[in-house]
């Protein structure tokens, strides 16, 4: 029995492995893209922000006192008199604008759409105004014979109480489960589609079903081939995480240090800081999830009439798996119940997130593993039933 399963799996793997693009997207791309995603945006934005702070930008002004203009120049901002501040900023004639009217300073900037150079210049202007305000307050206190200590009656200190693993994961902790889930599907999808809808188009599926091999062995052989590619893609993604967290973090330590102005930025891009049991838990979770996704993809691929139709069925599956990732971003505002970890897809994402942050427990992982195994078994049974139905197998 095992020999026939391995023969079928080998046939499916060879038919896909011959495509260099599949090998690149499955093995090379995860290793390359994970470090770039972890550190690329940080380094690019950090350098751009530092250059903005060090260079001089034009800022429109209307009715601004001379003392404030001098403070703006000290903050490396070149004030320019303009007529319409809002229109000037919208047309990008200036990066920001400052208006003083009736005792109120109003700052205009392009603040929508995430991080922008205009937002960085607005911060410059705000810093200059704060410095001007502090100087006025200090002068007034001195005129009244009051010391400036009254402005700071106590010291405030904030310390990060997060677990070591959560601090190491950094700002991209939620992206690690996302990419693991994505690479599990993208790694196995080419084999799953080619082994089902692809064989329908080539006319080889009928010959395979006519061979003296039980349907369950055919299903397991195809599933094994998909599993191998999914596992290789997942391991490549984990390798990319380790590479990004170790090698590249060491190579760009100086640049990362400069991004946070002297603070410890070595962990800014995110990295895995797990013990061997944590890595093992991550692999087990990924493997069980791969079994579930593989069974679903084989069922969808077998139902499809053509290769393109099968791909159109796989795309919504990706969207379904992204929904738990969106839920994960707001999980800190929700009181998580244990039964959440037993939900399909959701439980896997929550468990991966807990493993990365070092908060996973044996109970929660067991709930995810058992439920995922049950759902995978049901999906595998559905795939087996589809293989038995002629109206599905010969649907064209």
The predicted pLDDT at position 367 comes to 94
pLDDT confidence tier of residue 254, bands split at 50, 70 and 90: low
The predicted pLDDT at position 167 comes to 67
**Geometric angle at alpha carbon 14, from 12 and 18, rounded to 5°:** 130
Cβ distance 197 to 302 under 8 Å? yes
CB atoms within 10 A of CB 243: 16
The predicted pLDDT at position 262 comes to 43
- Does this model's pTM top 0.85? no
The predicted pLDDT at position 172 comes to 60
Checking DSSP bridges between strand 77-81 and strand 57-62, what pairing results, if any? parallel
Which domains occur in the chain, in start order? 2-46+164-393 (no CATH), 55-147 (3.40.190.10)
pLDDT of residue 66 exceeding 70, the answer is yes
The predicted pLDDT at position 266 comes to 41
Among 268, 308, 65, smallest CA distance to 169 is for 268
Among 330, 367, 375, 327, smallest CA distance to 351 is for 367
Q: What Cα–Cα distance (Å) separates residue 40 from each residue in 138, 177, 203, 253?
A: 43, 19, 46, 13
Cβ distance 368 to 350 under 8 Å? yes
pLDDT of residue 271 exceeding 50, the answer is yes
Q: What is the mean pLDDT of residues 276-296?
A: 87
User: Would you give the DSSP letter of residue 212?
Assistant: S
CB atoms within 10 A of CB 303: 18
The predicted pLDDT at position 82 comes to 92
The predicted pLDDT at position 264 comes to 41
Higher pLDDT, 247 or 140: 140
Write down the mean pLDDT value for the chain: 80
Checking DSSP bridges between strand 96-101 and strand 104-109, what pairing results, if any? antiparallel
Among 182, 386, 199, 392, smallest CA distance to 296 is for 386
Q: What Cα–Cα distance (Å) separates residue 222 from each residue in 13, 205, 280, 363?
A: 9, 12, 26, 33
Q: What is the mean pLDDT of residues 111-136?
A: 85
Contacts (Cβ under 8 Å, ≥6 apart) of 372: 285, 288, 289, 291, 292, 344, 347, 348
The predicted pLDDT at position 346 comes to 87
Q: What is the mean pLDDT of residues 341-348?
A: 89
- CA torsion angle 225 186 349 167 (round to 10): 110
Q: What is the mean pLDDT of residues 48-69?
A: 84
Q: What is the mean pLDDT of residues 317-328?
A: 77
Higher pLDDT, 134 or 175: 134
Could you give the CA distance from residue 122 to residue 193 in angstroms, rounded to a whole number?
51
CA 192 to chain centre: 25
User: Would you give the DSSP letter of residue 196?
Assistant: I
Q: DSSP readout, 245-259? A: IIIIHHHTHHHHHHH
Could you report the per-residue pLDDT of 148-196, keeping only the tens digit for each? 778 788 888 877 676 776 766 665 666 777 777 888 888 888 888 888 8
pLDDT of residue 126 exceeding 80, the answer is yes
pLDDT of residue 43 exceeding 50, the answer is yes
The predicted pLDDT at position 176 comes to 74
The predicted pLDDT at position 244 comes to 62
Higher pLDDT, 55 or 393: 55
The predicted pLDDT at position 100 comes to 92
pLDDT of residue 60 exceeding 50, the answer is yes
The winner for highest mean pLDDT among 58-62, 185-189, 233-237, 332-336 is 58-62
Residues of the chain with pLDDT > 90: what percent?
A: 14
Q: DSSP readout, 95-150? A: SEEEEEETTEEEEEE--SSSS-HHHHHHHHHHHHHHHHHHHHHHHHHHHTT--GGG
Cβ distance 127 to 52 under 8 Å? no
pLDDT confidence tier of residue 97, bands split at 50, 70 and 90: very high
């Amino acid at each position: 029995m095992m020999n026939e399963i391995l023969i079928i799996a080998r046939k499916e793997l060879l038919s896909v492995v011959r495509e260099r693009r599949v090998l690149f997207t499955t093995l090379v791309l995860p290793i390359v893209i994970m470090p770039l995603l972890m550190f690329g945006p940080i380094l690019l934005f950090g350098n751009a922000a530092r250059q903005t702070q060090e260079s001089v930008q034009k800022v429109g002004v209307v009715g601004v006192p001379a003392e404030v203009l001098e403070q703006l120049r000290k903050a490396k901002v070149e004030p320019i008199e303009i007529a319409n501040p809002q229109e000037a900023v919208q047309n990008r004639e200036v990066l920001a604008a400052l208006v003083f009217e009736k005792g109120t300073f109003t700052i205009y900037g392009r603040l929508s759409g995430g991080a922008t150079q205009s937002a960085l210049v607005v911060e410059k202007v705000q810093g200059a105004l704060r410095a001007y305000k502090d100087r006025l307050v200090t002068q007034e206190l001195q005129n009244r014979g009051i010391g400036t200590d009254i402005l700071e009656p106590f010291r405030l200190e904030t310390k990060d109480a997060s677990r070591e693993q959560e601090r190491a994961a950094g700002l991209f902790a939620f992206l690690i489960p996302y990419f693991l889930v994505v690479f599990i599907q993208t790694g196995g999808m080419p084999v799953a589609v080619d082994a089902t809808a692809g064989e329908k188009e080539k006319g080889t599926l009928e010959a395979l079903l006519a061979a003296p091999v039980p349907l369950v062995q055919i299903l397991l052989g195809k599933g094994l081939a998909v599993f191998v590619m999914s596992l290789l893609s997942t391991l490549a993604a984990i390798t990319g995480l380790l590479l990004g967290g170790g090698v590249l973090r060491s190579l760009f330590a100086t640049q990362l240090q400069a991004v946070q102005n002297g603070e410890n930025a070595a962990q800014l891009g995110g990295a895995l800081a797990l013990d061997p049991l944590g890595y093992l838990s991550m692999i087990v979770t990924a493997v069980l999830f791969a079994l579930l996704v593989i069974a679903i993809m084989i069922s969808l691929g077998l139902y499809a009439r053509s290769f393109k139709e099968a791909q159109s069925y796989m795309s919504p599956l990706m969207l379904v798996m992204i929904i738990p990732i969106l839920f994960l971003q707001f999980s800190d505002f929700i009181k998580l119940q244990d039964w959440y970890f037993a939900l399909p897809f959701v439980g896997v994402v929550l468990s991966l997130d807990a493993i990365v942050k070092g908060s996973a427990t044996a109970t929660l992982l067991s709930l995810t593993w058992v439920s995922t195994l049950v759902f995978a078994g049901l999906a595998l049974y559905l795939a087996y039933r589809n293989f038995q139905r002629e109206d599905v197998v010969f649907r064209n």
